[in-house]
Chain A
Amino acid sequence: MIRIQARTEPSSLMKVASPLLAIVLTLIFGAILFSAIGKSPVQALHVLLIAPLADSYNIGEMFVKMGPLLLCAVGLSLCYRANMWNIGAEGQLLAGALGGSAMALYFIDSESVFALPITLLAGIISGMAWAAVPTFLKLRYNSNLILTTIMFNYIALYLLIWSVHGPLRDPDGYGFPESALFSDITLLPTLFEGSRIHLGILFAIISGIIGWFILSKTHLGFQIRVFGADEPAARYAGFSSKKLSWFVMLFAGALAGLAGVSETTGPIGQLTPNISPGYGYSAIIVAYLGRLHPIGAIIAAMFMAVLYMGGDLAQIEMGIPVAVISMFQGVLLFFLLACDFFINNRLTFTNQATN
């Protein structure tokens, strides 16, 4: 007879083990699924997890995907730590890409060394602005942050599509919904010769370190943590919920905006309608998988990037639909939430049935 029993103290081992356990369970789920559709589970898992790290080109591509995931996830980690349910990283990323691209196109004939920094700044500010509106609406009109940030994702997407069909369309582009290619002066430099790894990944890792620094070293970060963990205690201590809400939302918006502008000025080099394969949504999973800890997010983002790469490879090599990745993400979060149950509970085995 198995019984569930509440632990007297939360298990710190399970806090760390839970994401790992969730990953293992997701892989088992994946293996069963692949067998069910008649693919070799061993080969499929190999393509998903090992192949992305097998050669230097693939590793490079993995880092290219890791950048935006990590930038968004660091911001979201801080938001969720403060109980601000920002689901809008995708929209903030698109806004950043849009704002940054508009600036890059403005500098298309420029030689100025300031062109790139200003372009990046434009992206950051656009992302912040896109986060600021829902924040303002929440604090002033008490509107539901989850729903407004999601709506702003859709609005950003259509704004982007409209821009590439209209004002930002390349006049010499034969009517394709794309902007002109940016000038080299506004492109992010690559880190290694012959690879597409660009400065964006450095921004991302630095943002992770900054996020960690804020949370664990500053008084502000401490207040964020208290606010999320125990709101009555935060009010008792006299922390300002408005200030903290603004900070985490603008910080997340800035990072997501930077992710967006880094994509267009990095690997893509122009503005297109498909700049994000849902990085902003996947970052939610990354944030959770990293235990809402910016350093945890670095590891989780790397895992997610591998999965993204693996998904692409699985489609090319085995004909498995690329959507399998977003399904795995959902399953992963399910398993993570379920495993977290055992942080505060445990199974006990008894010999006799109890009434």
Chain B
Amino acid sequence: MDADLIVQILFAAIKTGTPLLFIALGEVICEKSGVLNLGQEGMMLMGAVVGFLAAYGSGNMGFGIIAAMVMGSIMSLIFAVLVLHIGANQVATGLALTIFGTGLSAFIGADFVGQTIQGFQPIAIPLLSDIPYVGQILFSHDILVYFSFFMTALLVYVVNKTRIGLTLKAVGENPHAANAIGIKVLRVRYLAVMFGGAMAGTAGAYMSLVYTPMWVEGMTAGRGWIALALVVFASWRVGRIMLGAYLFGLASIMHLVLQGLGWSISPNLLAMLPYVATVVVMVIIGADHFKEKLLAPRSLGKPFDPRNMA
């Protein structure tokens, strides 16, 4: 393999990992507050279709992204009301959100399947993109990839260095104690869930506006689920999510690598790789049960009803 191919592969790994990065960033914030939202796939598909339609209709890509974010938040709000206020089971509600989003996105997008759109064009960052190799891998992307860099950095800062981050962790670890010291647990959780929705929407818009760029039913192909595994893989640490997303991105473009090595394997078998990799990762993390228990937000998936504080 020559250097150019390696650069190409790493560039593609970042591009492929970006939607995973967006969803996982949203989900990790949501999970840190103690809420497990399995509806990522549904929110992402809705973001993809609404983002595509908005951009297609208005001709404005930025509008498409914002529409996708808003749509993702609205979807997550349905989930939040059911889970936080009505006390519905988080797993079942998340599944419902995925099924609903899959259907609704296909429904609204039915007439637009196959339409293409002029996607975001890459912007080479002056000076930085001239650095040999690194510039081509990191600084010759489209604006959403840079946005994902920015969001990662922002979240690393917010989670680790600010009072907002402290409050979030406190609520996720022990909502009863947080309530006892006067933190508004449900409000924090609503905001976290809706942030997750906005990020999943962005991930969807990335798929339909940049990655493909077009709308196809079910185009997210399980990325929402892989991102859930990614959060566990990263031990709920924001910085590691970025690394994990690119590793999964790499697994998804293995065919490029293998072509480079001159191997030929059926593309249908290679398509399994990200899913097999996810299973392997789940086994590795799960095997160290104690560590997982230690790192996971303690109240993850458990309902909290402030009315029951006695």
Which A residues form the contact surface with B (CB < 8 A)? 85, 87, 137-138, 141-144, 146-148, 150-152, 154-155, 158-159, 161-162, 165-166, 281, 284-285, 288, 321, 323-331, 333-334, 337-338, 340-341
Contacts and interface: CB of A to CB of B under 8 A. Distances in A.
B278 A341 contact: no
A176 B287 CA distance: 43
Given A155-B272, A326-B102, A137 B282 contact: yes
A154 B106 contact: no
Contacts of B166: none
Given A155-B272, A165-B268, A338-B82, A141 B286 contact: yes
A141 B98 CA distance: 27
B279 interface: yes
Contacts of A159: 272
Given A327-B104, A338-B82, A152 B268 contact: no
A317 to B, nearest CB: 16
B68 interface: no
Contacts of A161: 268, 271
Contact of A137 (B107, B221, B272, B283): B283
Interface stretch (B14-22, B86-94, B182-190): B86-94
A327 B286 contact: no
Nearest to A338: B86
A270 B98 CA distance: 31
A165 B268 CA distance: 9
Q: How large is the interface on B (under 10, 10 to 19, 20 to 34, 35 or more residues)?
A: 35 or more
Contact of B86 (A281, A285, A341): A341
Nearest to B87: A341
Interface of B: 38, 42, 78, 82, 86-89, 91-93, 95-107, 110, 217, 221-222, 225, 228-229, 232, 266, 268-269, 271-272, 275-276, 278-279, 282-283, 285-287, 289, 292
20 contacts: A137-B279, A138-B286, A141-B283, A141-B286, A143-B286, A144-B232, A147-B228, A148-B279, A150-B222, A151-B275, A154-B221, A162-B269, A165-B266, A323-B103, A323-B106, A324-B107, A329-B100, A330-B98, A330-B103, A338-B82
Contact of B95 (A87, A148, A340): A87
A129 to B, nearest CB: 15
Contacts of A148: 279, 282
A334 B95 contact: no
B99 A330 contact: yes
A328 B93 CA distance: 14
Contacts of B276: 151, 155
B291 to A, nearest CB: 11
Give the secondary structure class of A's interface: helix
Q: Name the residue among A162, A281, A329, A330 with the largest chain B CB count within 10 angstroms.
A: A330
A337 B86 contact: yes
Contact of B271 (A142, A144, A158, A324): A158
A165 B174 CA distance: 52
Given A137-B282, A321-B110, A324-B107, A337 B96 contact: yes
Nearest to A321: B110
A334 B75 CA distance: 12
Contacts of B105: 323
Contacts of B287: 141-142
B82 A327 contact: no
A340 B88 contact: yes
B272 A330 contact: no
Given A155-B275, A162-B269, A143 B110 contact: no
Q: 5 tightest CB-CB pairs across the interface, nearest first?
A: A330-B100, A327-B103, A326-B103, A323-B106, A333-B96
Given A143-B283, A323-B217, A333 B92 contact: yes
A329 B287 CA distance: 36
Contacts of A154: 221-222, 272, 275
Given A323-B107, A326-B102, A326-B103, A142 B286 contact: yes
